[in-house]
Structure 1
Amino acid sequence: MAFQKGTTAGHFFQTDAEQAKIERRELKANNKNGNPIALKSKLLAAIPDPTSPSAVFIAESAGSVRRVNVDTGDSKQVFRGPSAPVTCVAVGGSGNRTLFAGSWDKDIWSWDLASKVPGRKYSGHSDFVKAVVTTMLGGKDCLISGGADKKIIVWDTETGSRLHVLQDQTVSMMAVQDLVVDPVQSGPDEVILVSASSDPHIRRWRIRLDGFEQIQETSPDAPGAARHAILEHDTTVYKVVFESESEEVDLWTSSGDGTAKCLSRLKDFATDESFHHGDHVRAVAVTDQWIVTAGRDEDVKVWNRTSGKLYCILDGHYDEVTDLVVLDGGRRVVSVSIDGTVRTWPLGQIELDKVNKEKEDKAKGVEKETPAEPPKGLMTDEEEAELAALMGDDD
């Protein structure tokens, strides 16, 4: 292994491999795939804007949340306050009028969506806040947060008081990576929460206003036997997502072991399907036709749900992809990345086939044809026909 020498500060103590990686990314940075919207910081998470079919809220390392309209490119609406990176974002409260964001400063910030005026700040974690979700519980608007301090805190959104602090007392739980509320088993007075963490265990929690408990799972391998938690991955689970399209509403996961998986509700959340993306898979998104995965290798991969095979690779990002958001009922997906760009990809089969064809042609050395322009000063066929008709009228 050789070390790069040079007078440029960025070249000191860099291996040849590191320098080659930097040069590759610099070459790749100018591509226009996915109609990139370039922002000025690293993008760490994203969610859809419930008030608009073409907008997303993005957590920025610059310490803010930015609303981006992927159709118009407008990114001027910014929610400021934290002085440290924002890692996660959620919308909730009465009428979905409040924006929440967890930060490296250990707090959860809030803003009124319409006015962008800062609201209550929720302080209680002793390390980075990594995940936030909102829910209703016993008629109360509640906020649930997870942190690098291995704690999950349930908050009364209106008063800011802590209702519960959840921790695994049996198997050591590492930093919380993601949280999601089960839309099937949750009800007005009881919420079933699923948590993912830096250890491979996926935990489920039953939460009420007057208490909580960790759910003991049924072992899929030994009928009648229990298991402490869902254990279907080998290492960190970054994302847990419930599918909204299927009747069973299965749980989808992405992991540092290089896979995204469908955990079947009917099989006690055992693996039903596995997609081998490769490298760390930071995000997974699901439509009725496709499974979309993305992560450290910079690519957005689209898998055919029926066959389970890789259908298309959408390349454009030049650093780790951190999140995916499905828009328009599954007709397109938005990806955000450490490279500071927001990219939007159509998921129609015709558009994906076009991407595949262009890649095949490029591999064969076939140059993309540029439509020929008509010679200046000459009329098109339509113009000639129109002129002939006009001249005929003069006869």
Structure 2
Amino acid sequence: MNYRFQNLLGAPYRGGNAVVSNNTLLISPIGNRISVTDLLKSETLTLPFQSSSNISRIAASPDGVFLIAVDDNGRCQFINLRRRAVLHRMQFKKPVSCIKFSPNGEFIAVGAGKLVEIWRSPGFRKEFFPFELVRTFANCNNKVTCVDWSPDSKYLLAGSKDLTVRLFSLKKVRGEVSSKSKPFMFLGHREAIVGAFFGVDKKTNAVDKVYTLSRDGAIFGWRYVDEKLDEPESPGTPERMEVDGISDVKKRKNVDVDDERNGGFELHKGKWELVKKDFFMQAPAKLTACDYHKGLELVVVGFSSGVFGLYQMPDFVCIHLLSVSREKITTASFNELGNWLTFGCAKLGQLLVWEWKSESYILKQQGHYFDVNTIAYSPDSQLLATGADDNKIKVWNVSSGFCFVTFSEHTNAVTALHFMASNHCLLSASLDGTVRAWDLFRYRNFRTFTTPSSRQFVSLASDQSGEVICAGTLDSFEIFVWSMKTGRLLDVLSGHEGPVHGLMFSPTNAILASSSWDRTVRLWDVFDGKGSVETFPHTHDVLTVVYRPDGKQLACSTLDGQIHFWDPIDGLLMYTIEGRRDIAGGRLMTDRRTAANSTSGKCFTTLSYSADGNYILAGGSSRYICMYDVADQVLLRKFQITLNLSLDGVLDVLNSKNMTDAGPLNLIDDDNSDVDDGVDKQTRVNSSYDLPGSMQNRGRPIARTKCLRIAPTGRSWAAATTEGVLVYSMDDNFIFDPTDLDIDVTPEAIEAALGENQPSRALILSLRLNEDNLIKKCIVAVAPVDIKAVVASIPFKYLNRLIQTFAELLENCPHLEFILRWCQELSKCHGHSIQQNSRNLLPALKSLQKAITRLHQDLGDTCSSNEYMLRYLCSTTSKP
């Protein structure tokens, strides 16, 4: 019940800008969530909160503490990155195209429509309205496309689609004539501005140049000229002005006492001259992304053709000109040191971090382009495999969130995945008519199972020994059986009259269960060749079938929204859960009925038992995932997979104001803008294939869950959804839950027992209190010679909690041999009890196995590396 969102895997980068904070943290928008990747530790995590629609712009504060994120609807979240919490929320009145913190972190510049707004950056204080609007510049004649701050945070460059760049001053001068307050304009570009940047003198650190870049691939260099502007003398007494409370006489020129290092002139009132025009010569490709590093004077540019270039300024020397892909680069940026370049391609869902000096990749991650259809956990719960409609299989490290291998041999959508018991072999089924076996040591396809005539496979299963592979078909309604060793087709099981979408072997014997749209669940004895052993009839189509981990119960879901539980031994229906009302919710844009009256999507298409079999997870074509108690048939909890209004089926009630005679307002395509003008939506349907008068969904994805899997350890579970693969875990979110609390069970009593050298009593008291830190403290306090006696005194009811603590200590504690001795004595003393109650202890035992396996692999790699190093040193020292 304590599962909380942990990470999002397999989701592609869909657009927006990516930033690098603290020189090593890559922050990027992933749909309506934000992903943070540590480039040094090779770990990625997704922040636990969501926006109401896809995030389009993000900006990080200079100290890396705060992050501001704005979605497509102008809703803003102000985030504390270190605490991973949202501090403030607000909404801009217009869509935001660019946003940036000032170098001193005090202000935030926002390009909202034609306006440039300067907001004071909020802090940690609780305020009624933390965002304070300081200035608003309304000089632009078209949409603002980019902003850049001067190093002293006093001036701002703003580029616009009106082909100009304007230089604004943040200071307010009282009594200033409006005609003199107009910003300086950099003119000459022939297309919309993509980037505008300040350049500084390395010796004085004063602003002395400006670079402006436009979509046609032109870069203009501007220089500040230390000349006085010709202004008419004002007759009579000189006027007086106040700047930030400082009184001064306004002489022939407006001189700011704070701008002495810029020659005594205000930059927006001085004279700028065009020094140089350069062109990247990438026509017909358009310039789509750029960034400038002030310290190294480097410019990085990305084009719509997938080409990027790195240039040394001001001489415009090309350092690198390479191609990332054939699709448009939507973001390009430097890190603080300027040695890493970050590129993003929304069309491919790809993020790259490239070190330009060594010409090597720091990060190369790409999510699934289309929906994830199926997922599978490895037996030790360390790996998670995903298969999608893009014909690819990806294997992820669950703890780090990184994909370390991608298989792309399939030529059609991947529909089913299954890990073998050995943990190093993965099976996959596809609509291309093949079942493939993958070696996770050598990362290759070592066996391919085919049929005499082409079939489309939609389900997959393997027996416990790994000798037999079975796959169900979509078109011929048959189940094919192969030998894993030889790859030969052994048998074809016929009898179903509809697609076989569910397939699973019993965990205890060789009985195969299959579910089909012909309203039956069939049991097959594969090894004896007897064919169908028993048939369980239903009144509606059966969508999926799963075995309980002990093999004594069978669960299947039907099209009427019910979950049926069968006894596979006696062939009796045990009980039924009615889930139509639980999963119902969400109205599509094209629905003519309300969500309450609609019959679509009110059924479960995927089921998964917990490791102990006490509860079951169910999901389908809805934004909800339901958790049921199997014994009592009650709903324990509902998980909502997304709050993203960019998806269809998230709202229960649609706004009638958005409904017109031609259909929903959101589905009417009245966009006449150029495709290259912004991020091309990857989900948009090509309107040239739409029939006249037909109302298409414009490619809006529908919120749903295609596959659910609970990890063998039982500590986490994953769901393949429209947003990606959501991972929920309770490893990092332990909640205090006393198991046997009494008035004498207190932390003081535990400390007293430790002080009196009573480790057995202290450990039992800590287990009764169920406080994680105290249990670990008591375990470490036991002397190695006393481990056997302490283990013998522990009652059986505390073994589950103790084994979970050992699994956590093995992952974080440096006392490896000490904890392994605990595990060894625990197995010797309570081995018989553990074997008799293996079902209840299975999740904890799986967690312990996962921790020991991971340590074994790490130690093996370290020993191998040391062995090769010693051999090398011995070979070099022996030579004369």
TM-score range, shorter chain: 0.5 to 0.7
Residue 620 of structure 2 is aligned to residue 314 of structure 1: no
Please give the alpha-carbon distance, in whole angstroms, between the structure 2 residues aligned to 1:141 and 1:273. Answer: 34
Residue 460 of structure 2 is aligned to residue 132 of structure 1: yes
Please give the alpha-carbon distance, in whole angstroms, between the structure 2 residues aligned to 1:158 and 1:266. Answer: 30
Please give the alpha-carbon distance, in whole angstroms, between the structure 1 residues aligned to 2:525 and 2:468. Answer: 14
User: Given that residues 179 and 195 in structure 1 are in contact (C-alpha distance below 8 angstroms), is that contact kept between their aligned partners in structure 2?
Assistant: yes
Query: Deviations along 1:243-297, whole A, 9 cap, x unmatched?
Result: 11x5x62111223221223223465141423241441211112224432111101
What is residue 626 of structure 2 aligned with on the other side? 301
RMSD, aligned CA: 3.1
Please give the alpha-carbon distance, in whole angstroms, between the structure 2 residues aligned to 1:286 and 1:235. Answer: 22
What is residue 571 of structure 2 aligned with on the other side? 268
Q: Taking structure 1 as reference, are residues 158 and 265 closer, same or farther at Cα in structure 2, changes over 3 Å only?
A: closer
Larger Rg: 2
Please give the alpha-carbon distance, in whole angstroms, between the structure 1 residues aligned to 2:735 and 2:609. Answer: 16
Unaligned runs of 5+ in 2: 1-50, 56-70, 72-76, 78-365, 584-601, 648-702, 737-880
- Taking the TM superposition and a 5 Å limit, the aligned residue runs for 1:1-395 are 27=52, 39-50=368-379, 52-92=380-420, 95-124=422-451, 126-135=454-463, 141-148=467-474, 149-168=476-495, 173-184=497-508, 186=509, 191-208=510-527, 211-215=529-533, 217=534, 229-232=535-538, 234-244=539-549, 249-265=552-568, 267-276=570-579, 277-278=582-583, 279-287=602-610, 288=612, 289-317=614-642, 319-327=703-711, 329-337=713-721, 339-346=722-729
Q: What residue identity is the alignment partner of 2:557?
A: S
Q: Could you tell me the TM-score, scaled by structure 2's length?
A: 0.31
Q: 1:331 Cα shift?
A: 2.7
Q: 1:73 Cα shift?
A: 1.4
Q: Taking structure 1 as reference, are residues 265 and 150 closer, same or farther at Cα in structure 2, changes over 3 Å only?
A: closer
User: Given that residues 40 and 340 in structure 1 are in contact (C-alpha distance below 8 angstroms), is that contact kept between their aligned partners in structure 2?
Assistant: no
Q: 1:328 Cα shift?
A: 5.7
Please give the alpha-carbon distance, in whole angstroms, between the structure 2 residues aligned to 1:134 and 1:266. Answer: 20
Q: Secondary structure at the match of 1:208?
A: coil
Please give the alpha-carbon distance, in whole angstroms, between the structure 1 residues aligned to 2:527 and 2:626. Answer: 39
Q: 1:192 Cα shift?
A: 1.3
User: Given that residues 330 and 347 in structure 1 are in contact (C-alpha distance below 8 angstroms), is that contact kept between their aligned partners in structure 2?
Assistant: no
Q: 1:175 Cα shift?
A: 0.9
Q: 1:102 Cα shift?
A: 0.8
Q: What residue identity is the alignment partner of 1:144?
A: C
User: Given that residues 60 and 87 in structure 1 are in contact (C-alpha distance below 8 angstroms), is that contact kept between their aligned partners in structure 2?
Assistant: yes
Please give the alpha-carbon distance, in whole angstroms, between the structure 1 residues aligned to 2:394 and 2:547. Answer: 25
Q: Percent identity?
A: 18
Q: Taking structure 1 as reference, are residues 266 and 81 closer, same or farther at Cα in structure 2, changes over 3 Å only?
A: closer
Query: Deviations along 1:218-266, whole A, 9 cap, x unmatched?
Result: xxxxxxxxxxx2014x33322211111x5x6211122322122322346
Please give the alpha-carbon distance, in whole angstroms, between the structure 2 residues aligned to 1:91 and 1:206. Answer: 22
Q: Could you tell me the TM-score, scaled by structure 1's length?
A: 0.67
Q: Secondary structure at the match of 1:41?
A: coil
User: Given that residues 251 and 269 in structure 1 are in contact (C-alpha distance below 8 angstroms), is that contact kept between their aligned partners in structure 2?
Assistant: no
Query: Deviations along 1:274-328, whole A, 9 cap, x unmatched?
Result: 2414412111122244321111012111223454222221112452201111126
Q: Taking structure 1 as reference, are residues 194 and 29 closer, same or farther at Cα in structure 2, changes over 3 Å only?
A: farther
User: Given that residues 616 and 629 in structure 2 are in contact (C-alpha distance below 8 angstroms), is that contact kept between their aligned partners in structure 1?
Assistant: yes
Higher relative contact order (CA 8 A, sep 6+): 1
Q: Taking structure 1 as reference, are residues 293 and 80 closer, same or farther at Cα in structure 2, changes over 3 Å only?
A: same
Q: What residue identity is the alignment partner of 1:128?
A: Q
Q: Taking structure 1 as reference, are residues 91 and 331 closer, same or farther at Cα in structure 2, changes over 3 Å only?
A: closer
Q: 1:177 Cα shift?
A: 0.5
Q: Taking structure 1 as reference, are residues 313 and 28 closer, same or farther at Cα in structure 2, changes over 3 Å only?
A: farther
Please give the alpha-carbon distance, in whole angstroms, between the structure 2 residues aligned to 1:243 and 1:304. Answer: 13
Please give the alpha-carbon distance, in whole angstroms, between the structure 1 residues aligned to 2:723 and 2:633. Answer: 31
User: Given that residues 38 and 340 in structure 1 are in contact (C-alpha distance below 8 angstroms), is that contact kept between their aligned partners in structure 2?
Assistant: no
Q: Taking structure 1 as reference, are residues 294 and 255 closer, same or farther at Cα in structure 2, changes over 3 Å only?
A: same
Deviates more, 1:78-87 or 1:261-270: 261-270
Q: 1:159 Cα shift?
A: 1.9
Query: Deviations along 1:69-103, whole A, 9 cap, x unmatched?
Result: 3332112321220121100012238x453222111
Please give the alpha-carbon distance, in whole angstroms, between the structure 2 residues aligned to 1:80 and 1:295. Answer: 27
Q: 1:343 Cα shift?
A: 0.7
Query: Deviations along 1:308-359, whole A, 9 cap, x unmatched?
Result: 222221112452201111126323221112x1511122469x9899xxxxxx
Unaligned runs of 5+ in 1: 1-25, 218-228, 354-395
User: Given that residues 368 and 390 in structure 2 are in contact (C-alpha distance below 8 angstroms), is that contact kept between their aligned partners in structure 1?
Assistant: no
Please give the alpha-carbon distance, in whole angstroms, between the structure 1 residues aligned to 2:545 and 2:619. Answer: 14
Please give the alpha-carbon distance, in whole angstroms, between the structure 2 residues aligned to 1:153 and 1:336. Answer: 26
Please give the alpha-carbon distance, in whole angstroms, between the structure 1 residues aligned to 2:734 and 2:52. Answer: 25
Q: How many residues align?
A: 296
Please give the alpha-carbon distance, in whole angstroms, between the structure 1 residues aligned to 2:566 and 2:726. Answer: 28
User: Given that residues 41 and 340 in structure 1 are in contact (C-alpha distance below 8 angstroms), is that contact kept between their aligned partners in structure 2?
Assistant: no
User: Given that residues 718 and 726 in structure 2 are in contact (C-alpha distance below 8 angstroms), is that contact kept between their aligned partners in structure 1?
Assistant: yes
